A and B are shown apart, each in its own frame.
Chain A
Amino acid sequence: MTAALRFDPIRLPEKCEQLRKEVRAFLAEEIAAGTFDPYAPNREDNDAPEFSRRVGAKGWLGMTWPKKYGGQERSFLERYVVTEEMRVANAPTRRFFVADRQSGPVLLKYAPEHIKMDILPRICRGEVCFAIGMSEPNSGSDLFAAKTRATKTDGGYLINGTKIWTSSAHIADYMIAIFRTSPPTKENRRHGLTQFLVKMKQPGIQVNPIGQITGQFEFNEVVFTDYFVPDDHVLGEVDGAWKQATSELAYERSGPERFLETYYVLTELVRAVGKNPDTRSAEGIGRLVAQVHTMRRMSVSVAGMLQAGKEPVVEASIVKDIGTVWEQQLPHRVRDLAAFVEETATNRETLEKQLDFAIKTAPKLTIQGGTTEVLRGIIARGLGLR
């Protein structure tokens, strides 16, 4: 066989189900207390610092990390449960999600000890928010075209240039960014970029909000002008960021957030249709549920294989490819079916509002964190086509 894809039928262990109950109970309390509205994913104020701290206090941030950095040394499957329950409840995870999923693991691997001791416990307590500085005005999917310079100076680097589409930069305490420290070489156009830890909210950094078609201001333009970064904030090898960027992406690609982003419209459709659906509604719902079930089984399978020390890189890319395409289509399929919902359905207005927001959200889902085109290139490479 050219391409032996594997999706072991992994089940979450029993201890995950206990944890799931705890997470659901916690979220129910938060909803009852008015922290967030689970029916309104489009809330303007989705930055909830106090909620972050309470999630941290539960031990659900950095939960797979070593205890000496504030972690719980729990499994990736347990983290999976926390993530999916938060996502399905539309909990306000923006403030901690990036740090927990992505930035923390990068620091664990590449930051000097004193920085790890300083920052990781604060991530675990839900106190700090991270952003990721990758895209630039003329470099998006083509990461290695980045031009923002880091020029060596006494004791560190001076940063000049602009990052763009940076989610949460306006609330972030830190950014992990790649900057150009050397020009690319003839042999390797990926050479010359270095990963840095950047402290936000300092002079020399200007954050300009960018309005999105959803009406939100999640992403930003971030302008650096002679911004100083000390030497110990270099993460990993100078000029060698390209070696670091790819290995951990499997975790990032295949999580529940890659197919559940618009899930709420399916729940509301089922509510609107009621207990006795007509044939068309029943068939439509059945097909959508078959999809979400299959996506989740694939995603859990990848999480389980990662936990077992395997490297399902192609499988993880496939999960993100078909998962994001699906969550993008979902609001449109729900809209097809909602056309026949009775006018008297009690949640009609909620469903319509949700659809409006989900349809506006949909275009970004196959762009953020690696476009469909880039993912299919990775899959094609895995199949032996490139």
Chain B
Amino acid sequence: MAESENIVAETAEKIFADLADAQTINHDKQGAWKAPLWQALTEAGLPLSWVPDDLGGSGASLAEGFSVLNVAGRHAIAVPLAETMLAGWLLTQARIASPEGEMTVVPASPKDRVTVNEDGSLSGRARGVPFAKDAKHFAVLASGSGGISIALVDAAKCRIESGIGLGGDHNDTVTLDKVQPVTTKSAPKGFDQTTLMLMGGVVRSLQIAGSLESMLDISVRYSNERVAFEKKISKFQAVQHNLARLAGESAAALAAATSAADTIANAKSFDNDAVFLEAAAAKIRCSEAAEKGSGIAHQVHGAIGFTNEHILHRYSLRALAWRDDFGSESYWAVELGKLVANRGADELWPLVASR
């Protein structure tokens, strides 16, 4: 998405350029950058991009929102923009209005479950919930005897065990112990936890792809500045070939993530093999690219990239951390492998070719 396809992504790009400069953020130990950035994003209606006007949002299309997330990944931003967008999207599925402020989704892993009790309260434990500590509300997917529900929950009513993830952002354990939600409604027919995980996986894929684009960019620039053995290191063939491989990983991640986003933006439902293939493959391929790509970016930077002072880790560690959210690549590979095996050998190519 090099060429901004839409005004929403352009707006996001401008806000990040003005208020989320990586160097500034990296040197600001107090976090003074955070409030003005969130305020600007909120004023532009970005956190609730995927919530229609009548439910309190700005009513952007899925495609527009996805391109915002790719841009957000390029800036590796450390505020819960993606999480609030995803939470707003989840609430919208059940026509629940979105409140103001930061949100995140519970659960954030395919393994964790929240249940609806007989009295309508919610119980469960969700690990690895991104930005739970920063969120005012949670959008919760829960199941009970009445089927699957979507609920808006006040974060203050939940127990939050604070944790910091690989990327340096909050990654917390949320426990709901008979919590009465603000609102609960039935999820639409066919919507289940897999749906949420697929959507969350595509969100993370776009962010990883964006961060890889930036890792490529700063690595190329650094190699053209840094002199060793009396020449720029970009002139060494070994370095050139490493950067060419990084470009390949970045390209693969971008292609897989944008293809999956395009599929979801144009799909009538999540309940088909094509959506599953696209979304699962994106998460798998982007996660693999995160490992290979960030490894090369660090190798090109040498020791300086391993310091807190340098911005590289803002991208590399987040890309690595995002692999774990909404199902790791190992998880999705098993699920995709089962799907392919179940369809049978002669149905594999028709599935691939249908995309």
Contact = CB atoms under 8 A, between A and B. Distances in A.
Do A and B form a real pair? yes
B234 interface: yes
B241 A273 contact: no
Contact of A292 (B213, B235, B352): B352
A315 interface: yes
A290 B341 contact: no
Contact of A321 (B213, B244, B337): B244
B103 interface: no
Nearest to A295: B252
B336 A289 contact: yes
B224 A385 contact: yes
Contact of B341 (A2, A85, A276, A384): A276
Nearest to A376: B244
Nearest to B250: A5
Contacts of A298: 251-252, 255
Contacts of B349: 88, 263, 267
Nearest to A81: B353
A91 interface: no
Query: For the side of the interface on A, what is the size category?
Result: 35 or more
A380 B345 contact: no
A385 B243 contact: yes
B333 A283 contact: yes
B340 interface: yes
Contacts of A277: 337-338, 341
Contacts of A5: 2, 213, 247, 250-251, 254
B279 to A, nearest CB: 11
B243 A380 contact: yes
Contact of B285 (A9, A273, A291, A314): A291
A3 B355 contact: no
B280 interface: yes
Given A275-B344, A318-B251, A282 B259 contact: no
A279 B338 CA distance: 9
B344 A9 contact: no
A7 B240 contact: no
Interface in A263-303: 263, 266-268, 270-271, 273-277, 279, 281-287, 289-298, 301
A282 B333 contact: yes
Interface in B216-262: 216-217, 220-221, 223-224, 234-235, 237, 239-241, 243-245, 247-252, 254-256, 258-259, 261-262
Contacts of B138: none
Contact of A275 (B247, B258, B342, B355): B342
Given A286-B333, A322-B252, A373-B241, A270 B340 contact: yes
A384 B217 CA distance: 11
B341 A268 contact: no
Main secondary structure of the interface of B (DSSP, over half): helix
Contact of A289 (B217, B247, B344, B348): B348
Contacts, number: 193
Contact of A283 (B252, B288, B334): B334
Sorting the interface of chain B by its residue count into under 10, 10 to 19, 20 to 34 or 35 or more gives 35 or more
B284 interface: yes
Given A314-B247, A376-B244, A270 B344 contact: yes
Nearest to A299: B255
For the residues of A in contact with B, the DSSP-based class is: helix
A382 B240 CA distance: 11
B244 A379 contact: yes
Contacts of A382: 247
A20 B335 CA distance: 28
A7 B344 contact: no
Interface in A321-357: 321-322
From A276, A293, A301, name the one whose CB has the most chain B CB atoms within 10 angstroms.
A293
A270 B341 contact: yes
Nearest to B265: A9
Nearest to A274: B341
Contact of A290 (B235, B247, B336, B342): B336
Nearest to A269: B345
Contact of A84 (B223, B262, B281, B353): B353
Q: Which of A6, A281, A286, A380 has the most CB of B within 10 A?
A: A286
A271 B281 contact: no
Contacts of A315: 251
Of B220, B234, B349, most buried by chain A (CB within 10 Å of CB) is B349
A384 to B, nearest CB: 6
A5 B289 CA distance: 15
A342 B345 CA distance: 16
Contacts of A274: 341
A383 B220 contact: yes
A377 interface: yes
Interface string B320-355: 000000000110111111101110111011001101
Given A267-B345, A297-B255, 12 more contacts: A5-B251, A5-B254, A8-B258, A270-B344, A283-B334, A286-B280, A286-B332, A286-B336, A287-B284, A289-B352, A321-B244, A376-B244
9 contacts: A8-B258, A281-B337, A283-B333, A293-B281, A293-B355, A298-B255, A314-B247, A322-B248, A375-B244
